[in-house]
Amino acid sequence: MGEWFTAIILIVAGLALIVIEIIFVPGTTIVGILGLIATIFGIYLSFVYFGSEVGWWMAAGTAILFGVALYYSFRKNAWDRFSLKDTIQSKVNEGRNSMLQIGDEGIAMSTLRPFGKAEFEQGEFEVRSIGNYIDSGTKVKIIKISNNSIFVEPIN
């Protein structure tokens, strides 16, 4: 009885890991590899424990079960309740740039590589350096405002 339990648990767990890999973690990762190894090992054990006839039936059953699981996962939208349906409509600094002017000075609140945050008198804004690395705490000056982008340079 323990042999059946071992083989079936390995196959089911392996198939579950493969489905998780395909649905939630696309790409070749450790989850899919572990699932493949567990499934193959479960089928191998069924050959070893019960002989080739039962082993081939287990292999065929595993293939059918895998096909049904994938069909159910993709066709019936089983994972719809887990998917993100909201989208972000806002943009960085949208509508706030009118408060700033070229030449305003502030302090880098985070390291600019080249993006980061800087604080000015009007508040905290997402800023960008012109390709330079600027440490946190460095005084910066606005040199350009374009659309929703604020470009700064360090003050020497």
Q: Which residues pair with 124 in a beta bridge?
A: 119
Q: Which residues pair with 107 in a beta bridge?
A: 119, 139
CATH code, 117: 2.40.50.140
Q: Output the pLDDT for position 94.
A: 65
Do 63 and 120 reside in the same domain of the chain? no
Strand 123-129 to strand 149-154: parallel, antiparallel, or no bridges (unpaired)?
Answer: parallel
Domain that holds residue 19: 2-82
How far is 133 from 10, CA to CA, in rounded Å? 51
Q: What are 17's two structure tokens?
A: 């890991």
CB 41 within 8 A of CB 59: no
| Residue found under tokens 């082993």 | 55
pTM, to two decimals? 0.50
Count of domains forming the chain: 2
Mean pLDDT of 48-60: 93
